[in-house]
Amino acid sequence: MHTPAESRTAPRWIFWLLPILALAIPLATNPYTQFIINAMLIYTLVTLGFSVVIGNLGQLAFANTAFFGIGAYASAMAGNALGLPWLLTVPLAGLAGAAGGFLASAAALRGIRLYYLAIVTLAFGELMRWFYTHAGALTGGTDGLALDRGDIFGLQLNSDTVQFYIFLLLTTLLVAGTVNLLRSRLGRAIVAVRENEIATASLGIATSRIIVTAFVWSGFVVGIAGAMFALHTGRVFPESFGLTQLIINFAMVLVGGLGSVIGAVLGAVALTALPEYVRAFPGMEEIFFGVIVMVVLLVMPKGLASLLRRVSPIFHETHHRD
Amino acid sequence: MLMQLSIAGISQGAIYALIALSLTVIYRSTTIVSFGHGDFVMAGAFLAYILVIGLGFAFLPAGLLAIAAMFAIGIVFSRGLIRPIRGGPHIGLALMSISFGFALRGIARLVWGREVLPMPRVFDVDPIFVGSIIITGDAIFTIGIVAVLLAAFFILLHLTDIGKMVQAVYQSERGARLIGIDVSRFHDFSWGTGAALGAVGGVLIAPVSFLHPDLGASFLIKGFAAMTLGGFGSLGGSVIGGLLLGLAEQYAGAYLNTALIDITAYLLIILVLLIRPRGLFGRKVVIKV
């Protein structure tokens, strides 16, 4: 069927130009800017995974930093304990994150919603952080776990440029995968659960399966981002996955636009670059993120993506009314 | 040993009860969970600290001023930041309180840097010995002040018109509006009261613990645990939940492992929500399709 919405979003292949153009980025960067750009790719996935659960599925689940940490630690631990090369730890990190997503969805399936879900997932994240700190030999405690980056087909993985191309590939694949997921019947069911769960169930859709799928996909994407983060920083600490990380993730989702894939990219890029300037004083970063979230909530609740949608209809992502 | 632990548990639990109560006050009257509440507690403690150490106030007026200031901040927050998005999705409301608290924490860190600040002891009286049990001055004062506050609060809620108003808005916001209650102002007032009660907790912990900008986070989780255990929205439940959490922490720390003190609250939240989501005294909350 050729709906108006379909024709508006027709030239979607244009978006494939973005990663292709991005291939040239390392030509124009110094190590520092390349490092930041790599972080943008990681945070794109973190934001995207988070947005699927809180934006598309509409669940108040705060376990995103838990998925991120689980992925990062899974990658570092598999590399250290099993001696796996980093690339092979990536799918492991994704699966570990997906398992975390499954656990979080179990809470949602128990009928725990809204604030209860927020609190129980917050506790889940803090519990994971306690585990990283106290599981000494396994996780390195508060000192964290150093990564032996190694190489891949002879290319040194501690090179920011090599990392960039790997991250670009992973991010592109996962973003495309998420777009396809959200555009499928399943994706519309995810949004339907957000809008009215009981009505969705009455249409014969197994809502519990939808909720589990969204959480597991979110955990998978964010878990892989965790493995990328471990490679990027070379060492994972418990403190990287605390409440500060959570609010940064929130700010990225919100600034970009809740439940929007384009928004996830925009939010991650904008907020990874900006705070570099406010890190000079202790506390400035927190004030910055706090104030940004408050301002966005008040004046632009649909985020940067909503501005783009005004510019051109090609940025419309949905086949339903917002 | 058991008695000694119980006294420590109740003294700590009294603070948790206070924080859980302050969260419940806001939740019951506005149906919003104040995710930035830990930072209200922190801000209360810090304001008291500035007044005592920086400006040379005595502890009592400093504490009262800090509590009044947090009452005002709660009202301003409700009026300026919550009211404009009140009709919006829950996620926005939750985020607003998180980010406001986050900004407060940033301000505290900007002013104090990364130091950990000790405040001189206030309740510096000799401990009382009852048989072999030692009861410290801190414990007596904390438990005493919290008990008086709770009593005043329950009288206010059960024997006055304000209590009836709270009940009316809780049952039906629209109905309350129809009988002439200014619900928006009532919400502002509730946020103020919640923030002030949280600040009482902060003022009470200031002299007996080290102050740092991140201290709110753990109290927030403990407040949640107490609330969850007692049953969301139940005022009496939140107090009992707080006391039980204080006791559980002490027992788990002494009889099992000291590292468990930190995560008793998390485990309690997860266990209660998975086994009996309504807590001890709450109403049924589970959504079933």
Cβ-nearest to A120 among B107, B108, B269: B269
CB contact under 8 A, B90 and A130: no
- The predicted pLDDT at position A322 comes to 46
Contacts of A114 in chain B (CB under 8 A): 90
**Minimal C-alpha gap between B122 and chain A (Å):** 29
Q: Do B91 and A54 touch (CB under 8 A)?
A: yes
Kindly report the average pLDDT of chain B as a whole number.
86
| A to B CB pairs, distance under 8 Å | 143
Mutate to test the interface with B, among A54, A62, A294, A295 (most CBs of B within 10 A): A294
Residue in A closest to B111 by C-alpha: A283
Task: Name the residue among B99, B213, B217 with its Cβ closest to that of A290.
Answer: B99
A38, A163 Cβ separation under 8 angstroms: yes
**pLDDT tens-digit profile of B258-278?**
878 888 888 888 888 878 877
A81 touches chain B (CB under 8 A): no
pLDDT, mean of residues B94-122: 84
Residue B146 above 70 pLDDT? yes
Angle among Cα A215, A107, B12 to the nearest 5 degrees reads 125
Contact A283 B213 (CB under 8 A): yes
Above 70 in pLDDT, residue B144?
A: yes
The nearest CA of chain A is from the CA of B43 a distance in Å of 14
Tokens, residue B173? 């916001």
Asked whether the beta carbons of residue B95 and residue A293 sit closer than 8 angstroms, the reply is yes
Residue B223's alpha-carbon distances to A240, B194, B239, B251, in angstroms, are 24, 12, 10, 19
Give the integer Cα–Cα distance in Å for A149 and A156. 8
> HEC profile for chain A?
CCCHHHHHCCCHHHHHHHHHHHCCHHHHCCHHHHHHHHHHHHHHHHHHHHHHHHHHCCCCCCCHHHHHHHHHHHHHHHHHHCCCCHHHHHHHHHHHHHHHHHHHHHHHHCCCCHHHHHHHHHHHHHHHHHHHHHCHHHHCHHHCEECCCCEECCEECCCHHHHHHHHHHHHHHHHHHHHHHHHCHHHHHHHHHHHCHHHHHHCCCCHHHHHHHHHHHHHHHHHHHHHHHHHHHCEECHHHHCHHHHHHHHHHHHHHCCCCHHHHHHHHHHHHHHHHHCCCCCCHHHHHHHHHHHHHHHHCCCHHHHHHHHHCHHHCCCCCCC
Encode pLDDT of B208-237 as tens digits. 778 888 888 889 989 999 998 988 888 888
CB nearest to B289's CB, from A123, A198, A287: A198
- Cβ <8 Å between A116 and B277: yes
Tell me which chain B residues have a C-beta less than 8 angstroms from the C-beta of A110. 273-274, 277, 286
Compute the distance between CA of residue A230 and CA of residue A76 in angstroms, rounded to an integer.
7
Cα gap A255→A253, rounded to integer Å: 6
Contact A18, A171 (CB under 8 A): no
Residue B287 has pLDDT above 70, yes or no: no
Residue segments in chain A with a per-residue pLDDT below the cut of 50: 1-7, 319, 321-322
Domain ranges for chain A? 29-241
**pTM of the model as a whole:** 0.87
> Does residue A54 belong to the interface with chain B, where contact is any CB pair within 8 Å?
yes
- What is the sign of the dihedral through the CA atoms of B159, B164, B165 and B170? positive
**Which of A201-215, B22-36, B119-133, B190-204 shows the lowest per-residue confidence on average (mean pLDDT)?**
B119-133
More confident residue, A52 or B253: A52
Contacts of A298 in chain B (CB under 8 A): 81, 84-85
Contacts of B265 in chain A (CB under 8 A): 123
Minimal-distance CA residue of chain B relative to A294: B96
Asked if the model's pLDDT at residue B204 lies above 50, the reply is yes
Q: Do A286 and B289 touch (CB under 8 A)?
A: no
ipTM rounded to 2 decimals: 0.84
CB contact under 8 A, A281 and B110: yes
Q: What is the pLDDT of residues B46-64, one digit of tens each?
A: 999 889 888 888 888 999 9
